């Protein structure tokens, strides 16, 4: 079941919506967007291992990853 939390829209454009949440709601927000999923945490750990081992690719933009 999805959890609802109060958020304030601070800015809206055609392509973006900026919201503000309280510090108290931050953990619930992270949980709702999947930052505590085991797959995401495993991907972070693998990334950190690669970085420590020197397997790093310099990028100018994150767009390079999707192009």
Tell me the pLDDT band of 48, cut-offs 50, 70 and 90.
Answer: very high
pLDDT at 2 over 80: no
Most confident of 10-14, 22-26, 43-47, 60-64: 43-47
The mean pLDDT of 35-59, rounded to a whole number, is: 91
pLDDT at 15 over 70: yes
Rounded alpha-carbon distances, angstroms, from residue 39 to 20, 24, 35, 36, 45 = 27, 25, 9, 8, 10
The mean pLDDT of 2-27, rounded to a whole number, is: 81
- Tell me how many degrees the CA angle 17-22-25 measures, rounded to the nearest 5: 100
């Amino acid at each position: 079941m999805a959890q609802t939390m109060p958020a304030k829209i601070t800015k809206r454009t055609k392509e973006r919506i900026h919201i503000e949440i309280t510090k108290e709601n931050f953990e619930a927000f992270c949980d709702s967007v999947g930052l505590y999923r085991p797959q995401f945490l495993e991907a972070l750990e693998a990334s950190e291992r690669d970085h420590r081992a020197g397997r790093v690719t310099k990028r100018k933009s994150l767009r390079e990853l999707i192009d």
